[in-house]
Amino acid sequence: MNDRAASVFENYEIEILRILKGRGALLGETQEGWLILKEYTGPAARLEIQEKLLEAVKENGFSRVEQLKRNKEGELISYDQDRVPYIVKTYFEGRECNLKDVRECQSAARTLGRLHKAMCQPGIARDYDVPAFCMENEYVKHNRELKKVRRYLREKSQKTEFEIYLLHHYDFFYEMALSAAEELQEYTADFDEEKIREKGNFCHGDFQYHNLLFTQGNFSVINFEKYMLDNPVRDLYLFLRKLLEKNSWSVSLGLNIFTAYETERSLTDEDRMQLYYRFAYPEKFWKIVNFYYNNGKAWIPGRNREKLENLLKQEAEKKNFMNNVLK
């Protein structure tokens, strides 16, 4: 972020008192509170839906969510002199959720349950013809990618130390991925996009501690750019996975989070089945492989090897969690 980016604030009917640098963004203080200026790379039409969704969530009783701001021309996207697109949103002063504090994580889970109730917006899903997400299709796509990378690794003549290590453990996770996708297709009904749209359940899409700000005794939720029409447990899974990876897949901790979430929104049998297969699928392995294959194979950060080693170490703990909590 630079002075050219800061000048984008001039496109808005606001008086900026001071500007601070944030994580990949600029924070602007006003008489009404803080605003955040961020680059935006998505389609404008998606941003229009995001604005309506956030307004509806607030009207539905969940007030601690960001809101998009329109510029003087009534547009959601503004450009700097180099035609870089930006958006401006309201912002909350606070710190990120502390994953080491169990009570705080329980509070975050209750916040998520309330958020999901407020994000049930069938009218928006219908009026804007929002496409529904299909978990089965995502895993089938991931598995095609894993197959392609496995072939590439096997055929490569000169392998790095990381590639040798990755290939050595590849089939263990690849077979796990194939099995999870196959079982999921057996247990779920045919994908019905219209039925999902009628339910109107939106997800945050990136519900993790970075996007939970603790302020004035409550959590505020930010960064809804990855919102989607999907089963709400998508968000619960992501939050839980990040939390449990840092806490040895503690069964008691997982149960505490489920209990906290269900004080606000009950989990159905379908929800629990989706959670089980989200955990069963080796998503973290797919992410490691995807990063390796698409970000320059000549140099692989040592952190990737470390992530893969940790993944292998935690596999037994993860299975124990799934068997005791999700089955």
Distance of CA 42 to the CA centre of its chain: 16
* pLDDT one-digit tens code per residue, 166-225: 999 999 999 999 999 999 888 776 777 888 899 999 999 999 999 999 988 899 999 999
Give the Cα separation of 133 and 193 in Å (integer). 8
Whether 234 is in a domain gets the answer no
pLDDT band, very low/low/confident/very high, at 22 (cuts 50, 70, 90): confident
Evaluate whether 254 touches 246 at the Cβ level (below 8 Å). no
What average pLDDT does the segment 218-238 reach? 96
Q: Give the closest residue to 221 by CA, choosing from 205, 232, 233.
A: 205
The pair of three-digit structure tokens given for residue 290, joined into one six-digit string: 């995807």
* pLDDT one-digit tens code per residue, 270-280: 899 999 999 99
pLDDT for the residue 287 = 94
pLDDT band, very low/low/confident/very high, at 23 (cuts 50, 70, 90): confident
* pLDDT one-digit tens code per residue, 75-92: 999 999 889 999 999 999
Mean confidence (pLDDT) of the chain: 93
Give the Cα separation of 246 and 291 in Å (integer). 21
Place of tokens 């998505």: 42
Evaluate whether 226 touches 205 at the Cβ level (below 8 Å). yes
Give the Cα separation of 36 and 20 in Å (integer). 10
Whether 304 is in a domain gets the answer no
Which CATH number goes with the domain that contains 85?
A: 3.30.200.20
Residue 277: strand, helix, or coil: helix
CA distances from 246 to 96, 98, 253, 254, 316 (A): 16, 12, 11, 12, 15
Q: Who wins on pLDDT, 297 or 178? A: 178
Whether 45 is in a domain gets the answer yes
Q: CB under 8 Å to 301, separation ≥6 — which residues?
A: none
- pLDDT of 245 higher than 70: yes
- pLDDT of 291 higher than 60: yes
Q: Which helix (H) or strand (E) holds 56?
A: helix 44-59
Which phi and psi angles does 130 have, rounded to 5°? -70, 130
pLDDT for the residue 327 = 79
Evaluate whether 78 touches 85 at the Cβ level (below 8 Å). yes
Of all residues in the chain, the percent with pLDDT exceeding 90 is 81
- pLDDT of 2 higher than 70: no
Amino acid of residue 171: D
Whether 240 is in a domain gets the answer no
pLDDT for the residue 216 = 84
Q: Which helix (H) or strand (E) holds 79?
A: strand 78-79
Which phi and psi angles does 11 have, rounded to 5°? -80, 0
pLDDT for the residue 40 = 96
pLDDT for the residue 1 = 52
pLDDT band, very low/low/confident/very high, at 60 (cuts 50, 70, 90): very high
Whether 282 is in a domain gets the answer no
Whether 87 is in a domain gets the answer yes
DSSP readout, 271-308?
A: HHHHHHHHHHS-HHHHHHHHHHHHS-TT---HHHHHHH
Determine the structural domain holding residue 64 and report its residue range.
Answer: 3-91
Whether 314 is in a domain gets the answer no
pLDDT for the residue 3 = 63
Crossing angle of helices 161-187/302-321, nearest 10°? 30
What average pLDDT does the segment 56-75 reach? 97
Evaluate whether 228 touches 198 at the Cβ level (below 8 Å). no
Give the Cα separation of 164 and 118 in Å (integer). 48
Residue 201: strand, helix, or coil: strand
The pair of three-digit structure tokens given for residue 311, joined into one six-digit string: 């993944």
pTM for the model stands at 0.92
* pLDDT one-digit tens code per residue, 96-151: 999 999 999 999 999 999 999 999 999 999 999 999 998 999 999 999 999 999 99
Give the Cα separation of 264 and 116 in Å (integer). 9
Whether 77 is in a domain gets the answer yes
Q: Give the closest residue to 179 by CA, choosing from 280, 326, 271.
A: 280
Of all residues in the chain, the percent with pLDDT exceeding 70 is 96
The pair of three-digit structure tokens given for residue 194, joined into one six-digit string: 């219209």
pLDDT for the residue 63 = 95
The total number of structural domains that make up the chain: 1
Give the Cα separation of 289 and 117 in Å (integer). 35
Give the Cα separation of 267 and 131 in Å (integer). 23
